[in-house]
């Protein structure tokens, strides 16, 4: 049985191969599937779906920046509500040169600014609203953040993009707001003339749209014509709320963008897509040729981007259209998208950012890293340090090709994406011989995707070691770029073999690199009794941190030190020899190898939960018992019934504590019970409850990560109740993976 299966798989590969070569299919960005197309014909078509020149140039940016800035920077919220007084945006200084300098040093090529986030507050001098920078105290209401950023971008040679949120809470909440106001669709001229504020750009459009779409188009017109070339327009799919069945006239938006910013790619529609999470996770196989059920040019339904598999052959067989739509891996350098504070908001280490860089850029995607400026209008020092270090590592590692001057096909050694070796059934391998032995632990491979699409489905790298070929690394697709990571080897002969492909693949570049490995990143796990383990961090998402099976070797000679008093650990701190009891508070740990210090890991633990008792919970669904909300296991979660009038869980903490905050961990695998708003209640007897403090968390569905709420005043309690008052996304049940209480 097994043998037959293998044989038929091979035949299928070759048939597709033959078809793709002989069929003379035109290279296109979108190819329709006919009902009569066989599986092989579909794969042949897939291997002719190519990026547009704009998409290709966006891919070549590789590492780009996001800037989330606005009222949330001052309210410390993830999502605003649209009712903020513009004066809340109390900015006294703005240092866009400092942002650009740091981004440039990190090796980033473009920056995207949230010119309007969901709260509707605009960061530029719009003619069409007063809800923005013009009503703040910043430069007496005359400041313009987009303008200053655009000038700094020119100075530092960075491209500029804009994030303009379609969801607009100000326009929903304001009495005269335009969002969902049920206005008529009529012919509107864009831009609408405003007395005393003429446009230099004389282009005019006429669209059949309603009030909110007109407003949105007018704003797009301003930001696309008055701030220099715009290279990306980012449409967020997230909606804290909607109103009045508001629809978006995307085709009008697109027409305007294509006319005014012909080089811009559009995120959230057909050009670029979300990678499916906001945590920096990447897929082992990220395809950019994707199946669509409608023509992506007009589509209103997009594939579920959180799926594990978006573009395998099996997925493509279901398609009505095949379309090139590249992934952008977006995450924040800090916990949350907006700046909150310097000491309680964790910042990713350079190890972590560099690792995401290698997995995303080296995994057929673009890395979009958010750096939120602080309330002084600057990137905080710690963020700048991380950006500098990441830039240095990228440069040290990828700035030098160890195959330079090597023998082999010059088309793959010239670092040119448009010269290539076209492999075929006779030639499936490319051999490279260096003049002297080289020590490498990274190989970069690229396909000529513009000329031949992404075709490799499986490949391996071998090295000549001990007088024979030995497999060093193996991976699936390549596409724009694949970075293979493996334990270092020293040799002078390398061989790349394509084991399977959708059609003859065009290998455009192969380069070799060396990354000097650093002491490992650390992670903590604590059980219900408070027993805490500190260990090197493994990556949940497929790629091991230092290549296949390399961890054991690389972690040799590692010593781990930790502190529990908030001080920075060094070699004279507590030496970690095995699990330690941690009652509560902040633990910091560091790995040291031969005097070299790794990144500091830190975690603030709540009080130990082993003696907590459940007093009451509104209900529990089968096998999702209330005890799972405090069993020190983030995988299990409590789920209440959806038809309860109220959702709450009451606990006896066994002792009275001076509580300073709490952590809500939502279940990452179940997005329908996220606690967006709630109230903390306390009691003297575990029966009568009084409100102590309300809380609110934004953006839980896209980013289901633990959220900390610090209490405004210390709350002394033995009996405590958490009551949800709003579940995200209009859902009805409450789900809690873990509750933790922080105490003095």
CB closer to ligand FUL, 114 vs 555? 114
Question: Binding pattern to ligand FUL, positions 566-605, x when CB under 6 A?
Answer: ----------------------------------------
Q: How far is the CB of 666 from ligand FUL (least distance, A)?
A: 15
CB closer to ligand FUL, 164 vs 591? 164
CB closer to ligand FUL, 453 vs 702? 702
CB closer to ligand FUL, 136 vs 331? 331
Name the token pair of 631. 């069993």
Q: How far is the CB of 704 from ligand FUL (least distance, A)?
A: 12
Count interface residues toward ligand FUL (CB under 6 A): 6
Q: 202: which residues sit within 8 A by CB, 6+ positions away?
A: none
Binders of ligand FUL in range 305-344 (CB under 6 A):
330, 337
What gap in Å lies between CA 257 and CA 104, rounded to an integer? 27
By CB under 6 A, tell whether 657 contacts ligand FUL.
no
Long-range contacts of 354-358 (CB under 8 A, 24+ apart): 354/390, 354/393, 354/394, 355/521, 355/539, 355/545, 356/280, 356/282, 356/329, 356/331, 357/63, 357/390, 357/394, 358/442, 358/483, 358/485, 358/543
Q: 246: which residues sit within 8 A by CB, 6+ positions away?
A: 179, 180, 212
What gap in Å lies between CA 171 and CA 209, rounded to an integer? 16
CB closer to ligand FUL, 620 vs 703? 703
Q: How far is the CB of 237 from ligand FUL (least distance, A)?
A: 7
CB closer to ligand FUL, 337 vs 367? 337
Q: How far is the CB of 236 from ligand FUL (least distance, A)?
A: 5
By CB under 6 A, tell whether 398 contacts ligand FUL.
no
From the centroid of its chain, how far is CA 582? 32
Q: How far is the CB of 117 from ligand FUL (least distance, A)?
A: 6
Q: How far is the CB of 167 from ligand FUL (least distance, A)?
A: 8
Burial zone of 583 (CB within 10 Å; 0-12 exposed, 13-18 middle, 19+ buried) = exposed
Could you say which of 173, 174, 226, 236 contacts ligand FUL (CB under 6 A)? 236
Q: How far is the CB of 700 from ligand FUL (least distance, A)?
A: 10
Could you say which of 564, 681, 699, 708 contacts ligand FUL (CB under 6 A)? 699
What gap in Å lies between CA 583 and CA 610, rounded to an integer? 11
Among 216, 203, 108, 121, CA closest to 170: 121
Phi and psi based region of residue 632 (left: phi greater than 0; alpha: psi -120 to 50; beta: remaining)? left
What ranges make up the beta strands (E) of 186-231?
186-190, 205-209
Among 659, 660, 650, 653, CA closest to 736: 650
Among 323, 594, 595, CA closest to 454: 323
CB closer to ligand FUL, 328 vs 454? 328
By CB under 6 A, tell whether 238 contacts ligand FUL.
yes
Q: How far is the CB of 330 from ligand FUL (least distance, A)?
A: 6
Q: How many CA atoms lie within 13 A of 125 on its CB side?
A: 14
CB closer to ligand FUL, 275 vs 592? 275
Q: How far is the CB of 276 from ligand FUL (least distance, A)?
A: 12
Q: How far is the CB of 338 from ligand FUL (least distance, A)?
A: 8
Binders of ligand FUL in range 658-677 (CB under 6 A):
none
Name the token pair of 673. 């019970």
Binders of ligand FUL in range 538-557 (CB under 6 A):
none
Whether the bond into 140 is cis, omega within 30 of 0: no
Question: Binding pattern to ligand FUL, positions 702-721, x when CB under 6 A?
Answer: x-------------------
CB closer to ligand FUL, 236 vs 401? 236
Q: How far is the CB of 151 from ligand FUL (least distance, A)?
A: 24
Spatial contact of 674 and 728, defined as CB atoms under 8 Å apart: yes
Instruction: Give residue number: closest CB to ligand FUL.
Output: 238
CB closer to ligand FUL, 562 vs 664? 664
Q: Does an H or E element contain 592, and which?
A: strand 585-593
What gap in Å lies between CA 430 and CA 498, rounded to an integer? 9
CB closer to ligand FUL, 329 vs 702? 702
CB closer to ligand FUL, 580 vs 701? 701
Q: How far is the CB of 306 from ligand FUL (least distance, A)?
A: 12
**∠ CA 166-169-173, rounded to 5°:** 135
Give me the residues that bind ligand FUL (CB under 6 A), please: 236, 238, 330, 337, 699, 702
């Amino acid at each position: 049985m097994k043998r037959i299966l293998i044989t038929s798989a091979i035949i299928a590969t070759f048939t597709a191969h033959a078809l793709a070569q002989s069929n003379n299919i035109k290279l296109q960005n979108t190819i329709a599937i006919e009902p009569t197309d066989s599986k092989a014909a579909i794969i042949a078509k897939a291997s002719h779906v190519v990026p547009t020149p704009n998409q290709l140039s966006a891919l070549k940016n590789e590492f780009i920046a996001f800037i989330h800035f606005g009222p949330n920077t001052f309210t410390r919220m993830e999502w605003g509500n649209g009712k903020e007084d513009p004066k809340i945006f109390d900015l006294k200084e703005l240092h866009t040169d400092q942002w650009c300098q740091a981004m440039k040093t990190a090796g980033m090529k473009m920056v995207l600014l949230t010119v309007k986030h969901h709260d509707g507050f605009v960061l530029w001098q719009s003619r069409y609203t007063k809800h923005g920078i013009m009503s703040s105290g910043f430069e007496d209401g005359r400041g313009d953040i987009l303008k200053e950023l655009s000038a700094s971008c020119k100075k530092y040679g960075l491209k500029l993009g804009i994030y303009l949120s379609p969801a607009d809470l100000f326009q929903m909440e304001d009495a005269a707001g335009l969002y969902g106001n049920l206005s008529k669709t009529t012919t509107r001229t864009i831009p609408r003339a405003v007395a005393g504020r003429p446009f230099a750009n004389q282009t005019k459009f006429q669209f059949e749209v309603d009030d909110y779409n007109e407003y949105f188009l007018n704003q797009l017109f301003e930001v696309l014509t008055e701030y220099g070339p715009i290279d990306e327009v980012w449409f967020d799919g997230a909606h804290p709320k909607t109103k009045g069945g508001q629809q978006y006239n995307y085709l009008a938006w697109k027409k305007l963008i294509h006319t005014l910013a012909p080089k811009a790619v559009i995120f959230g529609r057909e050009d670029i897509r979300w990678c499916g999470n906001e945590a920096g996770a990447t897929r082992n196989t990220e395809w950019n040729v994707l199946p669509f059920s409608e023509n992506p040019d007009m589509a209103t339904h997009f594939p579920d981007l959180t799926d594990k598999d978006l573009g395998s052959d099996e997925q493509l067989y279901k398609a009505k259209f095949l379309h090139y739509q590249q992934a952008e891996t977006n995450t924040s350098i800090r916990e949350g998208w907006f700046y909150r504070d310097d000491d309680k908001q964790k910042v990713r280490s350079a190890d972590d950012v560099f690792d995401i860089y290698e997995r995303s850029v080296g995994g057929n995607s673009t890395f979009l890293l958010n750096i939120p400026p602080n309330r002084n209008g600057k990137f905080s020092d710690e963020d700048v340090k991380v950006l500098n270090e990441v830039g240095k590592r990228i440069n040290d590692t990828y700035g030098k090709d160890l195959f330079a001057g090597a023998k082999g096909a010059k088309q793959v050694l010239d670092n040119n994406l448009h010269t290539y070796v076209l492999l075929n059934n006779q030639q499936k391998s490319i051999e490279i011989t260096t003049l002297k032995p080289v020590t490498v632990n990274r190989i970069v491979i690229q396909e000529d995707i513009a000329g031949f699409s992404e075709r490799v489905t499986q490949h391996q790298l071998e090295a000549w070691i001990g007088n024979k070929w030995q497999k060093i690394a193996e991976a699936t697709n390549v596409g724009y770029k694949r970075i293979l990571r493996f334990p270092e080897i020293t040799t002078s002969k390398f061989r790349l073999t394509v084991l399977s492909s959708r059609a003859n693949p065009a290998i455009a570049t192969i380069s070799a690199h060396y990354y000097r490995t650093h002491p490992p990143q650390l992670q903590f796990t604590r059980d219900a009794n408070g027993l805490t383990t500190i260990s090197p961090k493994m990556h949940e998402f497929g790629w091991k941190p230092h290549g296949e099976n390399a961890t054991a070797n690389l972690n040799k000679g590692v010593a781990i030190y930790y502190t529990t008093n908030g001080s920075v650990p060094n070699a004279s701190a507590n030496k970690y020899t095995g699990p330690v009891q941690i009652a509560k508070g902040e633990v910091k740990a560091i790995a040291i190898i031969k005097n070299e210090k790794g990144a500091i890991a830190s975690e603030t633990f709540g009080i130990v939960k082993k003696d907590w008792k459940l007093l009451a919970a509104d209900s529990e669904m089968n096998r999702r018992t209330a005890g799972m909300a405090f069993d020190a296991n983030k995988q299990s979660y409590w789920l209440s019934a959806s038809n309860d009038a109220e959702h709450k869980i009451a606990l006896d903490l066994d002792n009275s504590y001076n509580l300073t905050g709490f952590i809500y961990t939502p279940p990452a695998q179940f997005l329908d019970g996220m606690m967006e708003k709630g109230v903390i209640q306390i009691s003297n007897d575990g029966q009568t409850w009084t409100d102590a403090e309300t809380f609110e968390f934004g953006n839980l569905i896209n980013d289901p990560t633990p959220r900390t709420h610090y209490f405004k005043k210390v709350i002394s309690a033995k009996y405590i109740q958490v009551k949800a008052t709003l579940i995200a996304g209009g859902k009805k049940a409450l789900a809690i993976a873990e509750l933790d209480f922080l105490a003095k």
